[in-house]
Structure 1
Amino acid sequence: MTSTVEAQAVQRRHAEDEFAAELAALAAGDDRPRPPGWLLSPAAVVTYLLGGTAADGTVIIPKYVGSRRLMEVAVATLATDRALLLLGVPGTAKTWVSEHLAAAVSGDSTLLVQGTAGTPEEAIRYGWNYARLLSEGPSRAALVPSPVLRAMADGRIARIEELTRVPSDVQDSLITVLSEKTLPVPELGEEVQARKGFNVIATANDRDRGVNELSSALRRRFNTVVLPVPAGVEEEVDIVSRRVAALGKALELPELPPAVDEIRRVVTVFRELRNGATEDGRTKLKSPSGTLSTAEAISVVTNGLALAAHFGDGLLRPSDVAAGIVGAVVKDPVSDQVVWQEYLETVIREREGWRDFYRAARRGE
């Protein structure tokens, strides 16, 4: 059990720990039907995600800024026998939503499989403690359950990150789990049946390299919810502002005055280069090789805050974010540098109020 002192020393707490008070307040005042094994009703889960007020007046801060209907579809899916696939380009909050969904539904977001090209079947099924296996033979004590198997046994949510990076034959080991809600253990001559409350949330980015398409049999077991990039500048500025404030607090950065203007500057640059056109639509632009996601914008602003707090005058200025933007844009030193230079000279240089940023960005090249 983690002590209070140890919890305070953790750099990033799990969602169910960070927002325990909100979850408790929602549960206490939740009088709507709850699916078997759920800690909250689907309506309360959506309130937890999108923000609102609990019955006792506790303010629930938004975890996701976007379409309510998308979150309702995602939550409703978890209340059925189908698993949930969150699909989207990098930086669309797939992992963030996945974690908070698991925290709100089952109170545990830690049953996680990180998908990579080297993810083995044992990460989804089970492995063995080979010392015990050799000395005792196959037994329950020698079996090492995967996060998915533990979620089945406890009636909780299992999370699989970057499912399309997992080799196809390993992906397909999920089919029996999702269709039959059981996992055979032939070495022991038995099976593990999922308790009520079990389900799987997977995330995937189909634009990334190293993608292994899901088989049609596996895809049928998922209901897919596509998380879009923020629709407008102000929505993205709001998302970045909220996440930067939360990160700054978690990292214990010195508190700085609001920096909405610089956040809007970062978001504008990212959106224009990502979309291949200026916000007014008058100038077509070349796009760099990187994704320039909202997550990267959050990282650039957070790094800028650290620079301003520790090496500046306590105000976030164009020079604090310029180097981070250049680093985010120029991933390929040849082709991306050309894209950035053209954007800098044809758009930024002529934009009113951006002269300081232009100079700082030129120095950061």
Structure 2
Amino acid sequence: MSPRAANSATPPPWWTPPCSRRSHAGDRRIGRPGCDEGTGPTDRIRTNVSPSRVSVRAVTTGSTQHLQRPAAELRWADDLTRLREQDTAPRPPGWQLSVDAAKRFIVGDPTLGIARKFVGDASLVDRALVSLATTRGLLLTGEPGTAKSLLSELLSAAISGDSTLTVQGGAATTEDQIRYGWNYALLVSEGPSERSLVPAPMLRGMREGKIVRFEEITRCPLEVQDSMLSLLSDRVLAVPELGEMVYAVAGFNVIATANTRDRGVNEMSAALKRRFNFETVFPITDFDAELALVEAEAQALLHRSGVPQAPPRDVLAVLVTTFRELRRGATDAGDALDRMSAVMSTAEAVSVAHAVGLRGWFLRGEAGDAADIVHCLAGTAAKDDPDDLARLRRYLEQQPPRKSGKAWKSLHDARFQLPG
């Protein structure tokens, strides 16, 4: 049976058909369910209504191996299950884990065999969790590639068990993509009704008591940003077409992210800023921690790509050192460099490490080497500013000879492979 046929044959139990009385034919508001002749229409304000569409997961925890990027609650489902079983601490209303268990899910717990997922300041995770337990939203800001989106996904998975209620901000984002829209075929045939309503992430999060993620909020037009004001302050969303006020269920909150390089594109209003707690996510300062992260993530990506051999650790060390020095505009020895205008973030380093592994395996049938780094760096370094390619070329000419190791010599010898 098709989904449309199934919906028409057996409407969900939460749906209330419009009143059939002729005197109420034009009244399609929620809360007027086929009222008896003697009672007349009655108004109700709903505070906890199931979503108007059945949420069906395309995959389960046992079938994620062919997905390019499973959601956090699927990828680390075993960790979440283990923590729920061990968690005896008090939980904030609507949360699936206590604050302590949610923190251990993110920063790791060796005693339970839970690996660290976010490499950064553990106190930042503490502050983020406490902020989300209040009625204020959380805004993660920082340079691109500092794992703001990953942290918001992990927080959502730990708190709500669902990180998929996401709004991707952009110039084309509209209120319908944030609050709710309509199935226009049903809207024309039936008028406004719960069946024709299409809930967007914010409405679903309020009804179900879950965390909603708003990615790159500052890239949205100002009028779209301001549609969040009543949701964050009054915790209520009006659906005037249905005569309904949806009040947020315990557990609902919003995590927004914003890149500092987008500052000035669509500056947030002072009113909206007051409704968020701001936390800045900084780049990883420790070399060994960044190298371990790049190595682990590259191995995971290469495994999903069918590549059995990851680049050697010394090759990845060269890659991470190159990224860190170009990002800072200084070498580890303190010598000044031309700083790149490109981001050169840890996330970009992971992508380049993945590409190096793919290039080595699929072109030569072996692990990627330092020469492959040169081939894969150009597309990362030279994006908006053509001078970045010249800065990268100068770095490859001057810095590798000053460092020891076979991988650095291979990187220097391959410098002529840069385009241009």
Normalising by structure 2, we get a TM-score of: 0.82
Alignment match of 1:230 (pick from 284, 289, 308): 284
Superposition map of 1:138-217 within 5 A: 138-208=192-262, 211-217=265-271
Provide closer, same or farther for how the CA distance between residues 85 and 302 of structure 1 changes in structure 2, counting only shifts above 3 A.
Answer: same
SS in structure 2 at match of 1:108:
coil
Distance in 1 between residues matched to 2:213 and 2:385, nearest whole Å: 36
Quote the Cα distance in structure 2 between the aligned partners of 1:154 and 1:333: 45
Aligned to 1:61: 115
CA RMSD in angstroms, aligned pairs only: 1.8
Q: Structure 2: how far apart are the matches of 1:356 and 1:161?
A: 40
Deviations 1:243-280 (A, max 9, x none): 21222233332234x62211111111111111111111
Secondary structure, aligned partner of 1:291: coil
Matched, 1:136 2:186: no
Secondary structure of the structure 2 residue equivalent to 1:254: coil
Aligned to 2:307: 253
What is the rounded CA distance, in whole Å, between the counterparts of 1:232 and 1:338 in structure 2?
28
CA displacement at 1:132 relative to structure 2: 1.3
Q: Which amino acid aligns with 2:394?
A: E
8 Å CA contact 2:309–2:357 kept in 1: the answer is no
Give the match's secondary structure for 2:374.
helix
Equivalent residues of 2:141, 2:278 under 8 A apart: yes
Q: CA deviation at 1:209?
A: 7.2
1:262 to 304, 315, 325: 315
- Residues 159 and 202 of structure 1 are in contact (CA less than 8 Å); yes or no, is this contact kept in structure 2? yes
For 1:35-74, what aligned pairs fall within 5 Å after superposition? 35-53=92-110, 58-74=112-128
* Percent of residue pairs identical: 45
Partners of 2:320 and 2:365 in 1: CA distance: 23
Structure 1 letter corresponding to 2:121: S
- Supply the AA of the counterpart residue of 1:276: G
- Segments of 5+ residues of structure 1 without an aligned counterpart are none
Counterparts of 1:70-81 in structure 2, within 5 Å, are 70-81=124-135
Partner Cα separation in structure 2 for residue 332 and residue 116 of structure 1: 19
| Structure 2 residue corresponding to 1:114, chosen from 159, 165, 168 | 168
Give me the whole-angstrom Cα distance separating, in 2, the residues matched to 1:206 and 1:288.
16
> Corresponding residue for 1:273?
326
Unaligned runs of 5+ in 2: 1-56
Deviations 1:186-245 (A, max 9, x none): 122221111000011111102137721111111111111110001132221122122212
Q: Distance in 2 between matches of 1:338 and 1:308?
A: 25
| Secondary structure, counterpart of 1:84 in structure 2 | strand
Distance 1:333 1:159 in 2: 31
Match among 375, 387, 403 for residue 351 of structure 1: 403
Is the 1:103–1:109 Cα contact (8 Å) retained in structure 2? yes
- CA gap of 1:58–1:314, structure 2 versus 1, over 3 A, is farther
* 1:23 corresponds to: 80
Deviations, residues 49-98 of structure 1 (Å, cap 9, x unaligned): 01114xxx541111101111011001111111111111111110011111
Aligned-pair CA distance for 1:21: 0.7
Q: Write the distance in 2 (CA, Å) between the matches of 1:13 and 1:151.
A: 20
Provide the C-alpha distance between the structure 1 equivalents of 2:371 and 2:378, rounded to a whole number of angstroms: 11
TM-score (norm 1): 0.94
Amino acid in structure 1 at the alignment position of 2:326: L
**Equivalent-residue separation in structure 2 for 1:316 and 1:7 (angstroms):** 26
Query: Displacement of 1:3 after TM fit?
Result: 5.9
Rounded to whole Å, the distance in 1 between the matches of 2:412 and 2:393 is 11
Q: Distance between the aligned counterparts of 1:297 and 1:152, measured in 2?
A: 37
Question: Which letter maps to 1:24?
Answer: T
Aligned partner of 1:220 in structure 2 is 274
Q: How far apart are the structure 2 equivalents of 1:3 and 1:296?
A: 28
Partner of 2:362: 310
Amino acid across the alignment from 2:266: N
Who is 2:389 aligned against? 337
Kept after mapping to 2: 8 A contact 1:165/1:210: no
Amino acid at match of 1:308: G
Corresponding residue SS for 1:271: helix
Mapped pair 1:10 → 2:67: yes
Q: Aligned residues, how many?
A: 360
1:12–1:250 contact (8 Å) kept in structure 2: no
Q: Indicate if the aligned counterparts of 2:329 and 2:340 stay in contact, CA closer than 8 A.
A: no
Tell me if structure 1 keeps the 8 A contact 2:396–2:411.
no
How far apart, in 2, do the equivalents of 1:262 and 1:37 lie? 46
